[in-house]
Amino acid sequence: MEGLFSVDGKGFRFFGIASELVILNLLWLLCCIPVVTAGAATTALYAVAIKIVKNEESYVTRDFFHSFRQNFGQATVMWLLMLSAAAILYFDFYFSAHAPVRGAAVWFIPFAVIAALLLLTMLYAFPIQAVFCNPIRKTLKNALYMALAHLPQSALALMAAAGPVAVILLFRQNRSPAIFFDCVIGVAFFAWLKAHIFVKIFERYMPRQEE
């Protein structure tokens, strides 16, 4: 029992990670309030979560705002591009479902494919932005490539990404505990789970140092 809660014990490490995720979650929520900054906030969220997973020395608040400032420009542009694409797709789906044109529903299939590709790109784009230094076009291209090249891992990451919403749906009759969980630690917790997946994938694309 003493070893469990010693400085190097699993219990100490568990509570340490939990406290870091609580701080990280609150910082993410705070920086997402203007909405337009959500891309930079999400990039910073993954930057810190990946450090925690890799057991690297990290100072949550300092590292979060360092990544937030460093990636603000590119992450914001990517976020706005994705929001615009999502808005266009929404109207496309609406058109295919409600347009009084014969055969309009057929367009639902290509729109669904595009929506899936956009979702996969969004899943990887901000974690990649947090780790790699590339132009926006290459980041988005790499995001889609990695998502398709590692489909089983992408499926797991998508399930983790749906975690905060799934928690609320599980407590439909009394959503207060679920909302409280998401606001305190939920988003950061599921980002931390996804970070385990991304770390293993990204290691394959890291430049190897010559011996």
Helix/strand/coil (H/E/C) assignment for every residue in 53-110: HCCCCCCHHHHHHHHHHHCHHHHHHHHHHHHHHHHHHHHHHHHHHHCCCCCHHHHHHH
116 within a domain of the structure (yes/no): yes
Q: What percent of the chain has pLDDT above 90?
A: 72
159 within a domain of the structure (yes/no): yes
48 Rama sector, left if φ>0, alpha if ψ -120 to 50, beta otherwise: alpha
Show the domain range for 126: 10-205
4 within a domain of the structure (yes/no): no
Distances 95 to 63, 103, 117 between C-alpha atoms, Å:
44, 11, 20
Instruction: State the pLDDT at residue 183.
Output: 94
> How many domains does the structure of the chain reveal?
1
Confidence of residue 210 (pLDDT cuts 50, 70, 90): very low
90 within a domain of the structure (yes/no): yes
Which of the residue ranges 118-122, 154-158, 202-206 would you say has the lowest mean pLDDT?
202-206
2 within a domain of the structure (yes/no): no
Tell me what the mean pLDDT of segment 166-183 comes to: 89
Q: Judge whether residue 18 has pLDDT over 70.
A: yes
Tell me what the mean pLDDT of segment 80-97 comes to: 89
Q: Judge whether residue 178 has pLDDT over 70.
A: yes
Which of the residue ranges 8-17, 54-63, 148-157 would you say has the lowest mean pLDDT?
8-17
Spatial distance between the Cα atoms of 38 and 16, rounded to a whole number of angstroms = 26
* Distance spanning both ends of the chain, measured CA to CA: 43
Instruction: State the pLDDT at residue 7.
Output: 52
26 within a domain of the structure (yes/no): yes
**117: its two tokens:** 């590709």
Q: Please state the pTM of the whole predicted model.
A: 0.89
Instruction: State the pLDDT at residue 84.
Output: 96
Spatial distance between the Cα atoms of 58 and 187, rounded to a whole number of angstroms = 19
Report which of 14, 18, 15, 30 is spatially closest to residue 64, judged by C-alpha positions: 30
Q: Judge whether residue 5 has pLDDT over 70.
A: no
34 within a domain of the structure (yes/no): yes
Please write the tens of the pLDDT for every residue from 94-151.
877 777 767 666 777 888 899 999 999 999 999 999 999 999 999 999 999 999 999 9
Q: Judge whether residue 194 has pLDDT over 60.
A: yes
Which of the residue ranges 42-46, 47-51, 98-102, 185-189 would you say has the lowest mean pLDDT?
98-102
